[in-house]
A and B are shown apart, each in its own frame.
Chain A
Amino acid sequence: MSTPPHDVTELLHAWGGGDLDARERVVALVYEELRRRAAAHLRRERQGHTMQPTALVHEAYLRLVDQRRAVWQNRAQFLAVASRMMRRILIDRARARKRVKRHGERQQVSLDHIDIAIQPVAIDVLDLDAALTKLEAFDPRKSQIAELRFFGGLSLEETGRVLDISLATVERDWQAARAWLFRTLSAPSS
């Protein structure tokens, strides 16, 4: 069932006040909301129309959180959770498809970019997940920055706020993470 938006806002406030129970409930609600919406999008998916996970995250935020009462910390909390949930949903979906298709075509993910006349870089969502997991093992912060960026669609400024680090730090970390991920993902599939 859908939850009245103000409940999530309440929960975010409670979580902000240290209520870890509230956090669990937010996670459950956000996951449910995202999963439902993703499924709806997928049913409608047609040639040439792509699902936009980051759009889903933000739609979910708008839907679940009462903007008039939310404070910035609520948004940071929410996006951090939602980015993680989105990643899970995409992984689940890719795995399911893979099972169906067995060793057939893998789920392709195109990374957004805005440079003119360059083909989008297609990467495998499972490869991305694996790479992020690998990165997390020796540099959790860079991994999380990448997660927020890919799955939450956060700008560097927002990422800084969510993680409570300076923009300069985010920029440096992201540059390294980006280079590392590109190299890892471009390498011949293992």
Chain B
Amino acid sequence: MTPERWAEVNRVWHAVLARPGAERATAIAELCAGDEELRAEVESLLASLAYASAAGFAAAPGLATGSGSLVGRQLGPYAVHALLGVGGMGEVYQAHDSTLGREVALKILPDLWLDDTDRRARFDREARLLASLNHPNIGAIYGVHESDTSGSPVKALVLELVGGETLADHIRRRAGQASRRGLPVEEVTPIAAQIIDALEAAHERGIVHRDLKPGNIKITADGRVKVLDFGLARAVSDGSSPALAHSPTATVATQGGVLLGTAAYMSPEQARGRTVDKRTDIWAFGCVLYEMLTGTSAFAGEGVSDVLANVIKEEPDWPALPSDTPPGIRVCVERCLRKDPRQRFHDIADVRLAIEGAFATQTAVRDTSRRRLSPLWASAGWVAAALVAVAAGAGIWRTRGTSVADAPETRFEIGTPPTFSAGSVAISPDGRSLVYSGGYGEKLLLRRFDSQDAQRLAGTEFGWMPFWSPDSQSIAFFARGVLKRIDLAGGFVRTLANAPQSRRGSWNREGTIIFGAGSVGPLYRVPADGGVVQQATDLLPGQTNHRWPHFLPDGRRFFFVSLGSADVRGVYQGSLADRSVRRVTDRESGYAYMPPDYLLFARQGALWARKLNPDYSSTAGDLVPVAPKVFVDPAALGFSAFSASTNGSIAYRSSAGTRQLEWVDRTGRTVATVGSADDTEILLYDLSSDGRTAAITRVVNGNPDVWLVDTDRGVTRRLTTEAGDDGSPVFAPDRSRVLYVADGRDDVYQMRERRSDGAGSVTPVFDSEENKNPQDWSADGRYMSYVSQSPRTGFDVMALPLFGDRKPVDIGRTQFSEGGGRFSPDGRWVAYFSDESGRPEVYIQTFPVPGAKMQVSVGSGLFPHWRSDGRELFFTSLDNQLMAVPIVASGNRMEIGTPRPLFTASGALGYEPSPDGQRFLIVRQVSEASPINVILNWKPPGR
């Protein structure tokens, strides 16, 4: 063919293609005008194009050569019958699973991996974890298939076969149809909601997608959204690079575009090659949301480097958002696409809230707690929400300082998750928000009264006893032995001071925080922006401890509670200026100060208020009832579960719930209760080797002590009597003695020992400044394991030889958090957990000389315990399952079986297996803490 002739063919061909299908035949006839050869050529090419499309010929760029495809082969139960595509990892085939009678997708792994043992092991681990994700909006990973027929090993991921089009295609297709470039808002919402559902389910299991983009979100024919390839980016990476080139979801076919495509959804921290967490998914979600709304990607550019530079530096084209985009959605996209992950939404649940909030304003959805609000407050709330939305859109977060003095009193309840610290409740000074403790180890929860749900505050893990800054913009809290603050605007968390124990604090307008840091000792002060920690009060003769401080309006004077002998205990007034003190009441009561002139306190189970004198030196006047039932720790000097805002609002809990010791069998069924349920905050620490005595702690009269319980008869007796906190008891192998830790003065944590029968004196075992919790005592009596808390390496597992120079040896001491530390019955192994992989997992290593460590748990594992014959190990998972794994050890060899769940220990707060492993002693939260009661604009009777 000559170029000229070909050019003519092309001219006709293009003209014909430009016509609708029905008109083409006529068009050809017209354009060829009797040139039959030309006509035949054009028709032939048109037919070829149709065939080429039908056959998928070069439908995507690239080609693959090889010694053959797997089509037609049988891989174990899988009959491979079609090639679906070629991915960054390898080919993807469609196959029939004859065992389960379903169609699956098989993603074949590149064979170079087969030689890389580490990478394979890592992949297997990840794949098992990913396979545990089971959610209707997540494309399931069924497992890993390996086969080796005739010397050609194949390793494949077995995936749910998801039909339908990708969101990328969907956007492109819809953009072509509609007048607007993006999808209509009412179509965006259900898609976004389902993506959020998927991310939430995965994040709850600690799985980050890392490669979320429209190309791996599929929309099935019935409108269901499926997010594909969760976590594969991590599973397939070699662990070294941020894996620009390793997008496993990319088809090689589009790999040229893949680099671009993947880069466009990378978070700035990913682009910089830094470590990523779930906030990376939140970023990517923001990109996806933006793209759905506008039809174009948020970050484009010519070439990878351009795109990455834009991701790091440039803002998306905000005006491109359609004008009818609801403000809530705009805010949502903007908060997802903050460059600094600390300023981004921390939690996908917050994204959901933002989006649902945006739609709630249109559909008038209210949750139950909102319905209890007075109409006035409810409308004020919406106004506030709208203002916040506008402020946030401008990158500023500011609340209104509106007075609510004339607003009517309103009472409502806020349900909370189970918590270990029912008393950790603090209403903000402006009376608009509440912060409270989540479950043990959980983050603090922030509930704005104008929002529909609580927000988990990232970076506040293990936080409790929170208190607010005067401007209600920051929260200080105690966590893991330090005092921290979090700024709500940016989510920025800082450590301010060491505080081995938490005795709450108070924050004045000058930016000084006073706080209690121990169960003995005075109060301390520290600048709220960080700085030198100084003593703030002096113990008078006979006083043992100052706690629960609260600033008075002048910011110089403050209230606090003093413990000690009868003549020097009670609520005191102190002063930063001259450190003078005066006693306000002689009742050693939990209290709260309610500006301007009320003291709130608990008496006989009820909450009361009493007027203060103008100089705050004493109370006067009648006792005014506030609420009929309020929880304080059983001890009068315990932690008060109520707090007040500066404008007359109060939050409190009426009950912290009760706990009970129980025996359960291997199915989780209760076979016997031990003693009766009570509210002394029982924690279980150890079971004697014969299973007959349990070592627990109870808080009685404000004093945490070690108690021993007969596990048959339920008889309980107190073992320790020290004034400070005693805890973490473990039995000697022969049960004759108990080791525990006592919180002494001057930051010294002393391990002590005493006879189990209570006779004899206390013997110091080991002193150090680090907080430490004994875990186990080896069967030969020679070693004791403990968890220590060091400023440098956080939580570590150590072993203390109880002979020789008693110099501690490391079991698990890294910058990650380690815990547990249980010796195998033969003393040759130790089981503990570490979160070095990003999740707590249980490991076993040799002892006392640490060898290679073997991972036991899959997906998560904490608190290991051996059966007394060493042939089974138990541990718990993050989702509260009690797991069992068979162990075969002979000499220096150990084989670890597959962990199986025994039961879900919901409501269990610790467990100890019986010696035969057939029963478990657990502490069960019998009744949960009550909801938090909120009284907005409390009005004293008669006012």
Q: Are B256 and A121 in contact (CB under 8 A)?
A: no
Among A41, A153, A178, chain B packs the most CB atoms within 10 A around the CB of: A153
Interface of A toward B, CB cutoff 8 Å: 41, 44-55, 58-59, 62, 67-72, 75, 79, 90, 107-121, 125, 128, 138-139, 146, 148-155, 157-158, 161, 172, 175-176, 178-183, 186
CB distance from B10 to the nearest CB of A (A): 6
Judged by a CB distance under 8 angstroms, whether B303 is at the interface is yes
- Would you list 29 pairs from A and B whose C-beta atoms are within 8 A, ordered by A residue? A41-B112, A46-B153, A49-B111, A50-B65, A54-B256, A69-B305, A110-B65, A110-B66, A110-B69, A111-B57, A114-B85, A115-B59, A117-B81, A118-B55, A119-B82, A148-B61, A149-B62, A150-B61, A153-B253, A153-B255, A154-B256, A175-B17, A176-B13, A179-B52, A181-B58, A182-B51, A182-B52, A182-B57, A183-B44
Q: Are B52 and A114 in contact (CB under 8 A)?
A: no
Interface of B toward A, CB cutoff 8 Å: 1-3, 5-6, 10, 13-14, 17, 44-46, 48-49, 51-52, 54-71, 73, 81-86, 88, 90-91, 94, 108, 110-112, 115, 150, 152-154, 163, 244-245, 251-260, 302-306, 308
Please indicate the chain B residues that have their CB under 8 angstroms from the CB of A54 in the complex: 61-63, 252-253, 255-256
Q: Are B69 and A138 in contact (CB under 8 A)?
A: no
5 tightest A-B CB contacts, nearest first:
A50-B66, A113-B56, A47-B152, A54-B62, A153-B62
Please indicate the chain B residues that have their CB under 8 angstroms from the CB of A107 in the complex: 65
Among B1, B5, B60, B65, chain A packs the most CB atoms within 10 A around the CB of: B65
Q: A114-B56, A114-B253 are in contact. Are A53 and B65 (CB under 8 A)?
A: yes
Q: Add 13 more A-B contacts to A47-B154, A110-B69, A113-B253 (CB < 8 A).
A: A47-B150, A58-B245, A58-B256, A71-B303, A111-B56, A114-B85, A119-B83, A121-B55, A139-B6, A153-B252, A153-B253, A178-B49, A182-B51
CB distance from B156 to the nearest CB of A (A): 9
Q: In the bound complex, what is the Cα–Cα distance between A151 and B255 (angstroms)? A: 12
Of all chain B residues, the one with the shortest Cβ separation from A180 is B45
Please indicate the chain A residues that have their CB under 8 angstroms from the CB of B305 in the complex: 67-71
CB distance from B893 to the nearest CB of A (A): 33
Q: A58-B245, A59-B245, A114-B56 are in contact. Are A51 and B257 (CB under 8 A)?
A: no
CB distance from B84 to the nearest CB of A (A): 6
Q: In the bound complex, what is the Cα–Cα distance between A15 and B49 (angstroms)? A: 38
Please indicate the chain A residues that have their CB under 8 angstroms from the CB of B152 in the complex: 46-48
CB distance from A48 to the nearest CB of B (A): 5
Q: Are A51 and B66 in contact (CB under 8 A)?
A: yes
Q: Are B59 and A114 in contact (CB under 8 A)?
A: yes
Among B5, B14, B81, B111, chain A packs the most CB atoms within 10 A around the CB of: B111
Q: A112-B252, A119-B71 are in contact. Are A52 and B62 (CB under 8 A)?
A: yes
Q: Are A52 and B55 in contact (CB under 8 A)?
A: no
Q: Are B111 and A46 in contact (CB under 8 A)?
A: yes
Q: Are A114 and B61 in contact (CB under 8 A)?
A: no
Among B62, B150, B154, chain A packs the most CB atoms within 10 A around the CB of: B62
Q: Are A113 and B256 in contact (CB under 8 A)?
A: no
Please indicate the chain B residues that have their CB under 8 angstroms from the CB of A70 in the complex: 303, 305
Q: In the bound complex, what is the Cα–Cα distance between A71 and B94 (angstroms)? A: 39
Please indicate the chain A residues that have their CB under 8 angstroms from the CB of B91 in the complex: 48, 50
Please indicate the chain A residues that have their CB under 8 angstroms from the CB of B244 in the complex: 62, 67
Q: Are B46 and A179 in contact (CB under 8 A)?
A: yes
Q: Are B49 and A182 in contact (CB under 8 A)?
A: yes
CB distance from B75 to the nearest CB of A (A): 9
Q: A44-B112, A109-B64 are in contact. Are A116 and B58 (CB under 8 A)?
A: no
Please indicate the chain A residues that have their CB under 8 angstroms from the CB of B65 in the complex: 50-51, 53, 90, 107-110, 125
Q: Are B64 and A52 in contact (CB under 8 A)?
A: yes
CB distance from A155 to the nearest CB of B (A): 4
Q: Are A49 and B66 in contact (CB under 8 A)?
A: yes
Q: Are A112 and B85 in contact (CB under 8 A)?
A: yes
Partner of B58, one of A46, A176, A178: A178
CB distance from B539 to the nearest CB of A (A): 60
Q: Are A58 and B255 in contact (CB under 8 A)?
A: yes
CB distance from A64 to the nearest CB of B (A): 13
CB distance from A59 to the nearest CB of B (A): 7
Q: Are A118 and B56 in contact (CB under 8 A)?
A: yes
Q: Are B63 and A109 in contact (CB under 8 A)?
A: yes
Q: Are B48 and A182 in contact (CB under 8 A)?
A: yes
Please indicate the chain B residues that have their CB under 8 angstroms from the CB of A59 in the complex: 245
Of all chain A residues, the one with the shortest Cβ separation from B73 is A48
Q: In the bound complex, what is the Cα–Cα distance between A71 and B65 (angstroms)? A: 31
Q: In the bound complex, what is the Cα–Cα distance between A118 and B88 (angstroms)? A: 21
Q: Are B83 and A120 in contact (CB under 8 A)?
A: yes
Q: Are A150 and B253 in contact (CB under 8 A)?
A: no
Please indicate the chain B residues that have their CB under 8 angstroms from the CB of A176 in the complex: 10, 13-14, 45
Q: In the bound complex, what is the Cα–Cα distance between A180 and B304 (angstroms)? A: 33
Q: Are A153 and B61 in contact (CB under 8 A)?
A: yes
Of all chain B residues, the one with the shortest Cβ separation from A76 is B303
Please indicate the chain B residues that have their CB under 8 angstroms from the CB of A118 in the complex: 54-56, 82
Q: A49-B90, A53-B63 are in contact. Are A113 and B58 (CB under 8 A)?
A: yes
Please indicate the chain B residues that have their CB under 8 angstroms from the CB of A75 in the complex: 303-304
CB distance from B695 to the nearest CB of A (A): 58
Of all chain A residues, the one with the shortest Cβ separation from B64 is A50
Please indicate the chain B residues that have their CB under 8 angstroms from the CB of A119 in the complex: 71, 82-83
Of all chain B residues, the one with the shortest Cβ separation from A67 is B305
Q: In the bound complex, what is the Cα–Cα distance between A155 and B60 (angstroms)? A: 8
Q: A54-B61, A119-B82 are in contact. Are A113 and B55 (CB under 8 A)?
A: yes
Q: In the bound complex, what is the Cα–Cα distance between A154 and B81 (angstroms)? A: 28
Please indicate the chain B residues that have their CB under 8 angstroms from the CB of A46 in the complex: 67, 111, 152-153
Q: Are B84 and A138 in contact (CB under 8 A)?
A: no
Of all chain B residues, the one with the shortest Cβ separation from A181 is B58
Please indicate the chain B residues that have their CB under 8 angstroms from the CB of A117 in the complex: 81-82, 94
Partner of B60, one of A62, A109, A113: A113
CB distance from B159 to the nearest CB of A (A): 14
CB distance from B268 to the nearest CB of A (A): 15
Of all chain A residues, the one with the shortest Cβ separation from B51 is A182
Partner of A180, one of B48, B82, B252: B48
Q: In the bound complex, what is the Cα–Cα distance between A182 and B53 (angstroms)? A: 10
Partner of A152, one of B86, B256, B259, B303: B256
Q: In the bound complex, what is the Cα–Cα distance between A107 and B52 (angstroms)? A: 21
Q: Are A150 and B62 in contact (CB under 8 A)?
A: yes
Please indicate the chain B residues that have their CB under 8 angstroms from the CB of A186 in the complex: 48, 51
Please indicate the chain A residues that have their CB under 8 angstroms from the CB of B60 in the complex: 112-114
Q: In the bound complex, what is the Cα–Cα distance between A128 and B63 (angstroms)? A: 11
Q: Are A178 and B14 in contact (CB under 8 A)?
A: no
Q: Are B46 and A151 in contact (CB under 8 A)?
A: no
Please indicate the chain A residues that have their CB under 8 angstroms from the CB of B251 in the complex: 112, 114
Of all chain A residues, the one with the shortest Cβ separation from B254 is A155
Partner of B86, one of A52, A69, A148, A150: A52
Q: In the bound complex, what is the Cα–Cα distance between A114 and B163 (angstroms)? A: 12
Please indicate the chain A residues that have their CB under 8 angstroms from the CB of B54 in the complex: 118
Of all chain A residues, the one with the shortest Cβ separation from B14 is A172
CB distance from A60 to the nearest CB of B (A): 11
Please indicate the chain A residues that have their CB under 8 angstroms from the CB of B69 in the complex: 48, 50, 110, 120
Please indicate the chain B residues that have their CB under 8 angstroms from the CB of A67 in the complex: 244, 304-305, 308
Of all chain A residues, the one with the shortest Cβ separation from B54 is A118
Q: In the bound complex, what is the Cα–Cα distance between A176 and B42 (angstroms)? A: 10
Q: In the bound complex, what is the Cα–Cα distance between A187 and B915 (angstroms)? A: 78
Q: Are B73 and A157 in contact (CB under 8 A)?
A: no
Among A67, A108, A111, A176, chain B packs the most CB atoms within 10 A around the CB of: A111
Q: In the bound complex, what is the Cα–Cα distance between A8 and B108 (angstroms)? A: 33
CB distance from A105 to the nearest CB of B (A): 11
CB distance from A3 to the nearest CB of B (A): 19
Q: Are A179 and B55 in contact (CB under 8 A)?
A: no
Q: In the bound complex, what is the Cα–Cα distance between A112 and B260 (angstroms)? A: 20
Q: Are A138 and B59 in contact (CB under 8 A)?
A: no
Q: In the bound complex, what is the Cα–Cα distance between A110 and B252 (angstroms)? A: 13
Partner of B67, one of A47, A149, A153: A47
Q: Are B303 and A112 in contact (CB under 8 A)?
A: no
Q: Are B1 and A138 in contact (CB under 8 A)?
A: yes
Q: Are A138 and B2 in contact (CB under 8 A)?
A: yes
CB distance from A13 to the nearest CB of B (A): 13
